[in-house]
Amino acid sequence: MGKLKNAALVGTIAFQNALLNSTTDPMVKSILVFSSFAFLIPYAIFSELYKKEAEEILLDLLKSGKITEEVIKSQEFQQSLGNLFDNLKKMKESEKRDLNKRAFMGAYISEDEYTKNYLERIQDVSMRISIRALQHLSFVRKEVLPLLEKEAESFMNNPQAGYTPDSFKTHKMRTITISQFYDEYYSNRRREVEREFNRNTNDETRRAFDLVGAEEQKTRLRFVEFWTEFNTLGIFRQGNDPTIGTVGGGSGTVQYLTQFGSEFIKYVSTMSMSASDYTYP
């Protein structure tokens, strides 16, 4: 039994030394030298696939100044960092890997307590969400949520009893349906194109006028397609209001942003896409 333990110890040291020798960066070595197998094994596997990306993650953590030797040695950090690299190695799409990295950095560098407490859930959802739904969520973040936030802010000067202005804004972000802001987004775009079309009617402005309607229809259809996925993942929740125009369901079906959805969307990159990229023809 003693021989087995000695052999395991020798193997452990050899494995760690091999990882240390695989990099010339002293900052990367400073994490590896203090790390347990809970982190080293998934890191080694991911590093075999994406060596530069693996080292960049460690360097970004250290350069923040928030990740001290004490943090590195903690069981919680070692396990979370191991989970991060274990998840990353399963993801072919760079967008999903980027989302996972953003959330991890948010938890441990920006010290976002919500993200730290729900990091595993955020990572799990980022693995399960389809890449096209993720891209559509980028559209929601960039184009639609600012309209919802502006509406919610308009209530801050007159909060209900029991609310501060900030907490009342948060409350309104959860209780105003997102459907109407799809309408507002497209109404604004249509007005701009229609104004130019009426001012200067030619083949180019006519094509732009026709295109904005086609893009709206395609994006609305894509929105409907992804609502089941968004609701299942807890990013939005479904409600019913027969007085409001519907998006993503039957008559009276409306959608609300959840607290988890609000936190998850913070880490969704806009990926520098054009309007046509959001919709997929």
- Return the higher-pLDDT residue of 27 and 233: 233
Cβ burial 100-118 (10 Å sphere, 16+ → b, else e) = bbbbbbbbbeeebeebbeb
Quick one: which of 51, 50, 52, 31 has its CA closest to 40?
31
pLDDT-based confidence at residue 5 (cuts at 50, 70, 90): very low
Asked if residue 277 has pLDDT above 70, the reply is no
Tell me the C-alpha distance between 173 and 182, whole Å.
15
Task: Tell me if the pTM is above 0.85.
Answer: no
E strands present in 2-158: none
Asked if residue 90 has pLDDT above 60, the reply is yes
Quick one: which of 44, 45, 104, 34 has its CA closest to 69?
34
Token pair 């607290």 is at which residue? 259
pLDDT-based confidence at residue 124 (cuts at 50, 70, 90): very high
| pLDDT tens by residue, 27-72 | 888 888 878 888 888 999 999 889 899 999 988 888 888 888 888 8
